[in-house]
Amino acid sequence: MQTETDLENNENEQLKYKDVICLSHLRWDFVYQRPQHLLSRFAENGSRVFFFEEPIFSDEPTHLRKQEKDNNLFVLVPHISHADRENRNIAEIQRKMLDDLIEQEYLNDFISWFYTPMAMDFAAHLQGKATIFDCMDELSAFKFAPPELIANESNLIAKADLVFTGGHSLYEAKKDRHERVFAFPSSIDVRHFAQARDISDEPADQRSIPHPKLGFCGVIDERMNLEMLAEMADLRPEWNFVMIGPVVKIAQEDLPRRKNIHYLGGKNYKELPAYFAFWDIALMPFAMNESTRYISPTKTPEYLAAGKPVISTPIRDVVRPYGELGLVEIAETAEQFIGAAEKIFRRENSIEWLKRADEFLSEISWDKTWAEMNRLICEKIEETNQPKAAEKAVGI
């Protein structure tokens, strides 16, 4: 039986490359998001994927650790000794590891896929069939961003054949910097999250939390408006706020602590529908700052696929289209969040709302996103090869 991925691939050209080398600032096993969704589809459709992570520094001898995560999908983690970190050039070590990988794995027919401009320090020399910059976030606006990131991004955009952006607002910011920039907002694996509508067994660590449950799932970092979360908890002490996800770049003592705020930690992607299933409302209490100016949260379609009503701060890529279509409630303050939640609790046309949400989600999927990206890549490779074919035909 063919899957949706198979059908999408049949509609597109055959792959014009064998392998994908991905340079990422994110760990494969951290949070399952855009990189995992897209790169898994490259592997499923026949390409070997080599996911090259940022280094780990330890007392171990310097080496490149390789782990096969799935068929055709390999995660490479540079382990660099503290001694080498002090006495050698880190970029040169990574470049040597990358070159050795290319030689050992016979990578002579690949595309380069960049998530981090910082990889240009050691991977700018890669000469694959195509270079893609999948710009999923404005990383320069994030806390602790390296000062050289902006210059590295300019170099990467100059090198890239294609630039993909993680949302429409990010597309608007990048479109004039390259002749081939394409917006690919956050998408959805509908079947995975739709399981939440039929799950009857609540996870143990959430089961004892009383209703109403208002939940958030994602990385808890500087993009979260934690003050507003605390205000909501104080305004409605009888409501419970469930926070799922790892805490990053925030000290534990800086997290708001209330009896009705529950931090459950990170969860496996496969587990998420079981948690969503028992929420009354899903929240996206993002801060409105430079780090959130261009985000396109994957949570928006995931919550909707789970059948959950959603309240979000006015993130541009949430307001347009979700807010404008009436699929997500938009609120700026704790009081407005509470008001939006009470409006949802009173809602009498939830069946009609859910029908409209499902209609919207039926038009998007990670399979469709990957298929369109692959089409553009193959089109670019074919275009690049045409002059060579013409030269060969006339004997040049």
pLDDT tens-digit map of 258-274: 999 999 999 999 999 99
Per domain, the residue ranges of the chain are 4-187+365-392, 190-361
pLDDT score at 138:
86
| Tens digits of residue pLDDT in 125-153 | 999 999 999 999 888 888 778 889 999 99
The C-alpha atoms of residue 36 and residue 3 are separated, in whole angstroms, by 18
| Tens digits of residue pLDDT in 83-104 | 999 999 999 999 999 999 999 9
The C-alpha atoms of residue 134 and residue 360 are separated, in whole angstroms, by 24
pLDDT score at 274:
98
Nearest one of 322, 277, 332 to 298, comparing CA atoms: 322
CATH class of the 190-361 domain in this structure: alpha beta
Query: Burial of 104 by CB count in 10 Å (0-12 exposed, 13-18 middle, 19+ buried)?
Result: exposed
pTM score? 0.89
- Same CATH fold, 190-361 and 4-187+365-392? yes
4-187+365-392: which CATH topology? Rossmann fold (3.40.50)
B/e letters for 59-69, b = 16+ CB within 10 Å, e = fewer, are eeebebeeeeb
* Contacts with 392 (C-beta within 8 Å, 6 or more apart), sequence order: none
pLDDT score at 329:
98
Q: Output 348 or 41, whichever has higher pLDDT.
A: 41
Please give the full DSSP string across 258-273, using - where no structure is assigned. Answer: -TTEEEEE---GGGHH
pLDDT score at 5:
47
The mean pLDDT of 93-117, rounded to a whole number, is 97
Give the bridge partners for 63, in sequence order: 79
Q: How far from the centroid of its chain's Cα atoms is residue 60's Cα?
A: 31
Q: Is the pLDDT of residue 26 over 60?
A: yes
% of the chain beyond a pLDDT of 70: 94
Q: Is the pLDDT of residue 2 over 50?
A: no
% of the chain beyond a pLDDT of 90: 87
> What tokens does 336 get?
């407005």
| Tens digits of residue pLDDT in 327-386 | 999 999 999 999 999 999 998 778 999 999 999 999 999 999 999 999 999 999 999 887
pLDDT score at 130:
97
What average pLDDT does the chain have? 93
B/e letters for 122-158, b = 16+ CB within 10 Å, e = fewer, are bbbebebbbbbbbbbbbbebbeeeeeebeebbeebbe
